[in-house]
Amino acid sequence: MARWAIYACMTVMLTALFFGCGYHFAGSGSFPAGVSRVFVTILENRSADSGAEITFTNDLVFEFTRNRPESLAQERSAADGILTGTIVSLSVENISRATVSTAVERRVTGIVNLGLESPDGRILWSSGNIVERETYDVVEGNKTATDINLSVAIAAVSKKIAESAFNRLTDDF
């Protein structure tokens, strides 16, 4: 009986600590400045990867659809928040080598800057640089396979950035 009381007391204390410290799940907060409906514009692409703006914008829209579909405005005029942004860069670097001139693994790094504006152009929120990375294999003697691996890595970076952006946007801290 005494052991049960100790477990019950510990459970109550842990529950109070868990909820009392302001803990909440990522993405479960509200949008800044009372925004309830967000329109996502096509991102500006300053990288050398043409078409990346479509991938990154689609992943942002998907993240809203997955987490809070009712908050996504289909038209700019129906939104009280406009999400704009820029793909600042997509860069690739070698991270491991078989020889001095032969890469085995590379890493793609994506940097995106986002902002939430009111319909009249006031800045309500700014993300700063959102940076994500993904490694991929270099297939020796097969440029096509390496390029496919790069495309898959860029898609993974895009998904990570979209998730991070949504979580930051809905972070009530």
pLDDT band per the 50, 70, 90 thresholds, residue 28? low
- Asked whether residue 11 is assigned to any structural domain, the reply reads no
| Beta-bridge mates of residue 123 | 117
* pLDDT tens readout for residues 4-16: 555 554 555 544 4
Tokens representing residue 70 in the block: 């009712």
- Asked whether residue 70 is assigned to any structural domain, the reply reads yes
Predicted pLDDT of residue 36: 96
- Asked if 104 and 97 count as a contact pair (C-beta separation under 8 A), the reply is yes
- Asked whether residue 12 is assigned to any structural domain, the reply reads no
pLDDT band per the 50, 70, 90 thresholds, residue 171? confident
Nearest to 134 by CA among 156, 115, 164: 156
- Asked if 131 and 111 count as a contact pair (C-beta separation under 8 A), the reply is yes
- Asked whether residue 122 is assigned to any structural domain, the reply reads yes
Residue 146 has pLDDT above 70, yes or no: yes
- Asked whether residue 10 is assigned to any structural domain, the reply reads no
Domain residues for 85? 28-169
- Asked whether residue 105 is assigned to any structural domain, the reply reads yes
How many other CB atoms are there within 10 angstroms of residue 61's CB atom?
16
Nearest to 109 by CA among 147, 157, 146, 151: 157
Q: Tell me, what CATH number does 32's domain have? A: 3.30.160.150
Predicted pLDDT of residue 23: 47
Number of domains making up the chain: 1
- Asked whether residue 14 is assigned to any structural domain, the reply reads no
List CB contacts of 16: < 8 A, sequence separation 6 or more: none
Predicted pLDDT of residue 78: 96
Of 173 and 123, the structure prediction assigns the larger pLDDT to 123
* pLDDT tens readout for residues 65-110: 999 999 999 999 999 999 999 999 999 999 999 999 899 999 999 9
Q: Distance between CA 6 and CA 125 in Å, rounded?
A: 46
* pLDDT tens readout for residues 49-77: 999 999 999 999 999 999 999 999 999 99
Q: Distance between CA 47 and CA 45 in Å, rounded?
A: 6
Burial of residue 151 (CB within 10 Å: 0-12, 13-18, 19+) is middle
Tokens representing residue 112 in the block: 């995106």
Q: Distance between CA 92 and CA 113 in Å, rounded?
A: 19
Tokens representing residue 23 in the block: 């803990």
- Asked if 84 and 41 count as a contact pair (C-beta separation under 8 A), the reply is yes
Q: Distance between CA 135 and CA 157 in Å, rounded?
A: 10
